[in-house]
Structure 1
């Protein structure tokens, strides 16, 4: 039951951090949330990954719709050699999700205590 409040908090802090700071602040936001609300490492990683993956996918989609798919088509041709705006959005969301997941995993390892 701790996963949903963590999810929402990571999304909010990542969005606000992305407005004013660099893109990698998603890792800091996920780290801080993982330290405050502890979960086991795998659940913590997945929570951070999915939260930022969905956030960046939604933000990429909104930006893509606003400029009529022009930028995403050109960037996907340049980087991926395929004209696919959806694929470039998924790739960028995966990078953001992986960054936040690793930040969340680091925070979880800082707080998580195993009982033997």
Structure 2
């Protein structure tokens, strides 16, 4: 459930909001629907990772990866695909940590273990 909520909301927000909105979405969704920190991390990680891969491909395919290739050269990466992988993993970590934080804050507020 958490995975689907974060995936859909982050995908919608990815077209109109800044990148850090994914962290807020994962935190709030995990606060209300998350049960355990470990599973919430995994759900948030993969939801944001998949969303960012989709958003990157939607934005880079129409221009034949020109900008992504130039940024990959600036960062000394072998190609735009490596830039995609690195960016998606960083987004996944942000989503996972935010989702885990949401569950941990809920547990701290309610006194649950």
TM over 0.5: yes
Residue 2 of structure 2: aligned partner: 6
2:84 corresponds to 1:89: yes
Instruction: Tell me the number of residue pairs that the alignment of Structure 1 and Structure 2 aligns.
Output: 109
Extract unaligned runs of 5+ from structure 2. Answer: none
Task: Tell me how far 1:15 sits from its aligned partner.
Answer: 2.1
What is the rounded CA distance, in whole Å, between the counterparts of 1:102 and 1:89 in structure 2? 20
Extract unaligned runs of 5+ from structure 1. Answer: none
Residue 24 of structure 1: aligned partner: 20
Task: Tell me how far 1:95 sits from its aligned partner.
Answer: 1.4
Residue 98 of structure 1: aligned partner: 93
2:12 corresponds to 1:49: no
Contact 1:27 1:103 in 2 (8 A): yes
Deviation string for 1:76-103 (max 9, x for gaps)?
A: 0101x13411110111111111111111
What is the rounded CA distance, in whole Å, between the counterparts of 2:77 and 2:90 in structure 1? 19
TM-score by length of 1: 0.86
Contact 1:31 1:103 in 2 (8 A): yes
**More moved, 57-66 vs 34-43:** 57-66
2:60 corresponds to 1:64: yes
TM-score by length of 2: 0.88
SS at match of 2:19: coil
What is the rounded CA distance, in whole Å, between the counterparts of 1:55 and 1:15 in structure 2? 6
SS at match of 2:43: helix
What is the rounded CA distance, in whole Å, between the counterparts of 2:6 and 2:103 in structure 1? 14
